[in-house]
Structures are given as C-alpha cells and as structure tokens.
Amino acid sequence: QSVLTQPPSVSAAPGQKVTISCSGTNSNIGSYYVSWYQQLPGTAPKLLIYDNNKRPSGIPDRFSGSKSGTSATLGITGLQTGDEADYYCGAWDSSLSGLWVFGGGTKLTVL
Amino acid sequence: QVQLQESGPGLVKPSQTLSLTCTVSGGSISSGGHYWSWIRQHPGKGLEWIGYIYNSVTTYYNPSLKSRFTISVDTSKNQFSLKLSSVTAADTAVYYCARAYCSGGSCYSGYWGQGTLVTVSS
C-alpha cells in the first residue's frame, strides 16, 4: 500500500490531454514539494517535474505539474504513443522521522 | 553528464547479505548537496525509497523498513554501496541507485542508474 494514492490507469487518444492525480495528506503533499517520474517499460524512472511544477532541462512543456492542498496533478498534452508508460508521484513525508514516499504508479495508455 | 551504474549479483540465497555498488561518472561523489540514494521496485510494484548518504558520512534510512540496510561511500572509487543483510524472497526487486536532492521541503532525483534485478532464491 503506497503512501500517495494514484489511479491505477488512465487512457486517452493521441493528441489529447490527460491528467494524473496524486493524493496525499498534510504530512506529505500538504507540506512538501511534489515530483513526477515517467517510467517506460524496462527502464529507470525519469524525472518529469520537480518542486510541484518545474521541468528539468529537456522535458517538453507538454508536461506540467500543479498542486493544491494535499493533492497534485500531472498534465500531459498532445499525447504521443511514446508517452505510454507508468507515472509516479513522489514527495517527502514527515511521518515517523521522515521518509521519501511515492505513489503506486499510474499506467498511461495512449489508445 | 552524471551517470550512475549499479553492479552486483543477480542472485542471492536466503539469509545471505546482498551487496550492491553504484559507480558514479561525470561528477564527484564528494561534491556537496547531493543525496546518494538507493530505491527499489518489487516486481510489478511501485517505488520504495531505501535510504541515502550525504556529505560522504551521514546516512538516513527509510524508518518504515527494518534496519537491515547499510549505505556507505568509497570516495576514492567514486562509488557508493548498499548492503542488505538476512535477505528473504521479499527482497527480490530491481534496485536503483540515484542522485537525489532532498532539502528545503523538496526531495527528487534527476539521475538514476539503469537498475539491477536482484532475485533471492535458493
């Protein structure tokens, strides 16, 4: 059971927009920055968004992040077949003595 | 460009100690501000943070995991390592090393190794 809650799957057609939600609590998302990762099959996670809405160099602006209260959202516009992957959110959590936590992942299918 | 590469045995017997090494290239492991981390992913599951080492000596581990993990750094080889004692089948996972930034309310990693699958089986 992951600390952050994501929908198991989402789908959309090429060219469309999709959003992926990440729900947490005041001890994680409500108090700390959120990051998002893309994991293509058989590869390591790749950072897409950090500090809620910042994109690392090289990440296209089709990817966006936002946060409100104890939830965060990853948005992807202009969907491409190459976007089919698992997406994970992450944040620090102040529970116990502090730990880095992740969501369970969301499988994006581009129909 | 910083690159990380895990190495270690792909198969470990139950009750043994697993040792993995992460070799860092394109940057010094001694440079400040980085949290050299280990993260694992059980088959078909999500990501689980194991712990990190920073400033070459300070370690911090996931408090929700039992204290079987040890992370250390060898600055002369630009490597950091993970040891996991008394392994069981539940430790079967892909193990990733990563360079993270965890400060000021933020914790994320832009640099990951390719991952190494470790199977615990007799």
Q: What is the per-residue pLDDT across B88-116, written as a single tens digit (0 to 9) for each?
A: 999 999 999 999 999 999 999 999 999 99
Identify the pLDDT of residue B32. 81
CA–CA separation, A34 and A45 (whole Å): 15
Burial of residue B122 (number of CB atoms within 10 Å: 0-12, 13-18, 19+) = exposed
Residues A100, B107: C-beta atoms closer than 8 Å? yes
Confidence at B31, pLDDT banded by 50, 70, 90: confident
Q: Which residues of B touch A102 (CB under 8 A)?
A: 46-49
Structure tokens given for A21: 């939600």
Res. A81 pLDDT band, cuts 50 70 90: very high
Q: Is the pLDDT of residue B33 over 90?
A: no
Structure confidence at residue B66 (pLDDT): 76
Determine the pLDDT at residue B115. Answer: 98
Write the residue in A35, A96, A101 that is nearest to B108 by C-beta: A35
Measure the CA–CA gap between A104 and A42, rounded to whole angstroms. Answer: 17
Instruction: Read off the pLDDT of each residue in B13-32 and give the average, rounded to a whole number.
Output: 94
Angstroms from B122 CA to nearest CA on chain A: 25
Predicted pLDDT at B21:
98
Mean pLDDT, all residues of chain A: 97
Percent of chain B surpassing pLDDT 70: 100
Position A77 scores a pLDDT of 98
